[in-house]
Amino acid sequence: MSATGDLDVRVPIGLLFTLLGVLLTVYGFLEPAATTAAFTKGGQINMWWGVVMLVFGIFMLLIARPRASRSVT
C-alpha cells in the first residue's frame, strides 16, 4: 500500500463534491435569479444540482475505508 500513502481516493473525491455541492446550493439559494445567457429559464439549477453533488460527496465519504482498518492493512 506504500504507493498510495494510505490515501483513499474516495476521501478527496467525497470532500470535493461535498464542498462544491454546498457552494452551489448556497449560491443558488442566495441568487435564485443568477444571470443566464440566452436559453436557460430556471436559474434554480445551481440549487438542485448542488444538492445532487452534495449527496454524492457524502456517499463517497461514507463508503471510504475507515481509518482504523487502513492502518491494519
Partner 1 sequence: MASGLTPIGLRWIDYTIIGVYFAFVLGIGWQLRRAMKTSTDFFLSGRSLPAWITGLAFLSANLGAQEVIGMGASGAKYGISTSHFYWIGAVPAMLFVGLFMMPFYYGSRARSVPEYLRLRFDEKTRALNAVSFAIMTVFSSGVSMYAMGALMHLLLGWSFNVSVIVSAVIVLTYILLGGLTSAIYNEVLQFFLIVFGFAPLVIVGLNEVGGWDGLMAKLTTLAVSQGHPAGAYTHAWRGMDAPAHNLIGVEWFGLVMGLGFVLSFGYWCTDFLVVQRAMAADSMDSARRTPLIAALPKMVFPFLVILPGMIALVIGGKGIIPAKIGANGGPLMDAAGRVVLDYDLATPSMLMHLFPNGMLGLGLAALLASFMSGMAGNITAFNTVWTYDLYQTYIRKDADDQHYLWIGRMATVVGIALAIAAAYVAASFNNIMELLQLVFAFVNAPLFATFFLGMFWRRTTGHGAFVGLLSGTLAAAVHHGLTLPYGAVPGVKGGYFGVLDTFPSEMGQTFWTAIYAWTTCFVVTIVVSLLTRPRPDAELVGLVYALTPRPVSSVRAFWERPAFLGVVTLVLLLILNLIFR
Residues that bind partner 1 (CB under 8 A): 1-7, 9, 12-13, 15-17, 19-20, 23-24, 27-28, 31, 34-40, 43, 45-46, 49-50, 52-53, 56
Grid look-up 444571470 returns 35
Torsion of CA 42, 45, 48, 51, to 10 degrees: -160
Q: For the chain, how far is it from start to end, CA to CA, in angstroms?
A: 8
- The whole-angstrom separation of Cα 71 and Cα 69 is 6
Cβ proximity to partner 1, 15 vs 58, nearer residue: 15
Cβ proximity to partner 1, 37 vs 68, nearer residue: 37
Minimum distance of partner 1 from residue 18's CB (angstroms): 11
Minimum distance of partner 1 from residue 58's CB (angstroms): 14
